[in-house]
Structures are given as C-alpha cells and as structure tokens.
Amino acid sequence: MTTIGLIGAGRIGSQLARLAVARGYKVVISNSRGPETLSALVAELGPDARAATPVEAAQAGDIVVVTVPLKNYRTVPVEPLTGKIVIDTNNYYPQRDGHIPELDSESTTTSELLQAHLPASKVVKAFNHIYAAELTTHGQPAGTPNRRALVIAGNDDAAKATVTRLIDQFGFDTVACASTGNLANSVAAHAAEARLRSYVFIPADLESGKVIGTLVYEPTVVEVEGTYDEVNRLCAEIGDKYHWAFVNINLRPYYAEGSKTYGYEIAEQLGWRAPAHVVVPCAGGSLLTKIAKAFRELQDLGLIPEGRTAMHAAQAAGCGPIVTMIRNDTDVLRPVRPQTIAKSLAIGNPADGYYAYRAVKESGGHGEHATDEEIIEGMRLLARTEGIFTETAGGVTVAATRKLIESGRIPRDEPVVICITGNGLKTPDVLQDRLSRDVTIRPSLSAFDRALADLESKTVA
C-alpha cells in the first residue's frame, strides 16, 4: 500500500490526509510541534494514519506533501526526500512569510525555491489554488459532469503523471481555456496526454484550420458567437461558477511563465546572446513581456552577456490597442472591437496590455500596425524569400518589422529576431484568392516542352 507523508498538518495538510485515508492510502503526518499534538487528528483518521516527526514522515512517504508556511521551507528535511516525489502546496503571503526578495522581483517562484532546497527530489506544484475546505467537499467521481479541476506544474514528467493520478483519485480533473487558436491546440493536446477532460472556448468565426487542430484531441469545444474578449469574459464567469481551472484566466501565472521559453530558445539559438531587437506579435501582450523577462533572467544567471534588447510590438491595424498606446506614449489602454483577418491577435482588451507597453518603453522599442493587405503581403514575402509559410499573425510581424526598419526604428545593420508564432496551414483561406497556378498541361513531354518555352518567354519579356 502506498504511503503519503505529510510535512505540515494545518488546513491543507489535514484535509489531504483525510482524502488520502478515504482513498486507501496510509498516511504519516507531522508538524513542527511534535507528534503528540496530532493525537486527535490521528484518532479521527483511523488505523491507517500515524503521527511522526517531519524527518520520519519524509522517510516513510512514497509521496511526500510539503505544506508548511513558505517562510519555513528551509526546515524541510533534505536527505530523506532524495529521489522522491514532493508535492508543494505553498503560496507566497508577504504578510505571513515576510518579504522574500527573489519572489518580489519575480526572479524565481515558490516551487523553484523548494526545488533548490531539495535538489535530488522531484517537486510538483499542486493543491495551491483551492480552498482547504473544498478539498473534501468539491471532489467528484471521474466522468461526473462539471467535475472541478486542479492544475499541476513541475519539471519531471513521470512525477507529474503520478500526481495527476493522485488528483484524479481525490476527485478532480477538468482543464479549460479561452483561446484564439494556438492555446486551444496546446491545452487539448496536454489534457489528452494527462487523461484530463478539457473544455475549449473559442470565437465561432475562428479559422477552420485552428479548430481542426483542436478537435483532433477530442476535447469539448464550445464555440461562442462573439469576440475573443467576450469569450474571455464568459470564461471568467464560468470559472467562478463551476470552479473550473482556466489555463489563461485563474491559472494565468503558469501559462504566462511558460512563454519565457521563447526567449530562452532565442538566446540559445543565437549562441547564448540576446539580439539587439525582437519584434513580437501581440494579442494579450503576455508573450512580449515574458520574452523580455527571459533575457533579464539569463543575464542575471550570467548565461548571456549584459545588454539591452529593444522589444517591439506588432499588431493588426484593425485590433492594435497596445501599439496605439506605444505610439501615443500613454499608459492608458483604450479597448477596441477587432476588425482584422489576424484572428489569433484579435483581442481588443488585452489583459497584459499595460505591461507590454511598459516593457517596450523601458527597452527602447516601438510598435507598428499592419493593415490586412500588408499582413497578406508579409505572409507572401516570408514564404518566397525564406521558405517559411506563416499564419496571419506572422504576416503582422513581418509587415510591422518592415515598417520599423523603413522608419529607422530598427537600424539595418543590427541583429533582429522576428517572432513567427504560427504555421500558415492554420489560416490558408486568406490566400485563397491571392495565389494562382501557372500552367495546366496534358500528361505528355511535348506538352511540357511547349509550356516551358511559353513560361520562359514570359520571363524574358
């Protein structure tokens, strides 16, 4: 029988102990005051539970939950947890924990602190975004409609899979998101891999290529007759009513931090240096801010040289509130109603608009809009010159970069990275009437000879 060790017996620890015993696990629970103070809780839990010291709980547990106040994370025993899965439930409360500089500066996270303290353990973040009382009242059997979800985070895939199964046994599963395309594909794919039910909410007029890229994973797709902003607003209400985990709403920190990997890969592929300029397509604005943060973190770690990368924002002219802020040099965002073929960027009231504006201004960057015609030309330019077929968002970035160079905002002799964030197979419809076939022939060599001669004569002319 699997044993769950608990270091911490407060509200979350005691509730998890109740869940574990009810699902057939043995429990070894500890606190900082000594085993004798846990006699009443152990009596309630029954014969499959016993009280112990933190070291004993760490030694006994096949899976160990660390649920102590964050300020006390350094008291967690290290050696007994070597090689074990450690579930971290901590959140940062400065009024309780005191100020922790690296968390205030966002240079690390609570789980990264614990992982650094436990270098040989497999730390997985879980149970930190649900009220303790709801752990034993909101769980439901697998397959129950509207089953609540809890999301996890960690670096070890096998450890995350184990914790996912534990969470499922405890009665939780659903993952959801509101998306203009790429996030929907990602959430549906990862939910399928983790055996979680997923709901994906999209605007009803989203490009068919993106919808197919989500449907293949068999999530529940909810098409909403409205803009992305209206979809997002609805999802916030659904998350509040049904207690669902929305990746880009009530779990946004996990979603946003993941965007830093884009910046890490840019630096890695450039030989561990940052470029002078980066042009980023902006929808909600998060990607731009996190690429900038990634460069700062790599500099702090000494992995890339010190320097400043100018961050530039690219948006469609039919939905460009962030670029409008930058060009007007104002920190006041004025929402717009999207009117653009670049539907993946069609967020008229971007959640991170202010932060994107600030990141651009602090870096010395700028912003440019692209009309629908310029977007299509940007897609075609990238395809015929670089052999890269991008979706409409990439066309926005190419067109905006061209304008930034022509205006002198980006010098022609300085290195620049253009962020192409989607494949053209997702939005082929915008090119349907813009491309033509050159020649149609019968299946004979003589027919081809004549066609080739005709084509060459036209080329010469």
pLDDT in tens, 288-322: 999 999 999 999 999 999 999 999 999 999 999 99
The pLDDT of 48-52, averaged and rounded, is 96
pLDDT the model gives residue 375:
97
Q: What are the Cα distances from residue 5, in Å, to 69, 163, 226?
A: 17, 14, 48
Sheet containing 153-154, strands listed edge to edge, beginning at the edge strand earlier in sequence: 49-52, 26-30, 3-7, 63-66, 85-88, 122-125, 153-154
Query: Any idea what the Cα angle at residue 227 is, between residues 226 and 228, rounded to 5°?
Result: 125
Alpha helices in 302-444 (DSSP H): 321-328, 353-363, 372-386, 392-406
Question: CATH 3.40.50.1100: which residues of the chain?
Answer: 175-253, 259-431
CATH number for the region 3-144 comes to 3.40.50.720
Of 366 and 233, the structure prediction assigns the larger pLDDT to 366
Q: How far is CA 271 from CA 267, 293, 297, in A?
A: 7, 18, 16
* Torsion from C-alpha of 401, 405, 408, 412, nearest 10 degrees: 130
> How much is the mean pLDDT over the chain?
90
C-alpha distance from residue 253 to each of 46, 151, 202, 284 (Å):
38, 12, 21, 14
Most confident range (mean pLDDT) of 173-182, 198-207, 218-227, 263-272 is 263-272
Those residues with Cβ within 8 angstroms of residue 25's Cβ, 6 or more apart along the chain or in another chain: 1, 2, 3, 4, 48
| CATH 3.90.870.10 corresponds to the domain 259-431 | no
Q: Which of 2.40.40.20, 3.30.110.60, 3.30.1360.200, 3.40.50.1100 would CATH assign to domain 175-253?
A: 3.40.50.1100
Cα–Cα distance for residue pair 93/69, rounded to 1 Å: 9
Query: Residue 392 pLDDT > 80, yes or no?
Result: yes
Supply the pLDDT for residue 252: 78
Contact 367, 326 (CB under 8 A): yes
pLDDT of residue 173: 64
- Report the SS3 class of residue 309: coil
Strand order in the sheet with 367-370: 367-370, 310-316, 277-281, 416-418
Strand 122-125 versus strand 198-203 pairing type:
unpaired
Among the listed residues 377, 282, 385, 373, the one whose alpha carbon sits nearest the alpha carbon of residue 336: 282
Q: Among 281-285, 293-297, 427-431, where is mean pLDDT lowest?
A: 427-431
Statement: residue 174 has pLDDT above 60: no
Q: In angstroms, rounded to a whole number, what is the distance separating the alpha carbons of residues 10 and 89?
A: 12
Q: Is the pLDDT of residue 134 over 70?
A: yes
Per-residue pLDDT tens over the stretch 321-364: 999 999 999 999 999 999 999 988 999 999 899 999 999 999 99
Residue with tokens 């009280």: 51
pLDDT grade, residue 176 (50/70/90)?
low
- Can you tell me the mean pLDDT for 132-137? 89
Instruction: Evaluate the CA torsion angle 124, 126, 129, 133 in order and state its sign.
Output: negative
Per-residue pLDDT for 109 more than 90?
no
* Number of C-beta neighbours around residue 124 at 10 A: 25
Which residues of the chain does CATH 3.40.50.720 include? 3-144
Q: What pLDDT, on a 0 to 100 scale, did the predictor assign at position 247? A: 82
Question: CA 159, CA 121: separation in Å to the nearest integer?
Answer: 10
User: What is the reported pLDDT for 182?
Assistant: 73
Element at 453 (helix H, strand E): helix 445-460
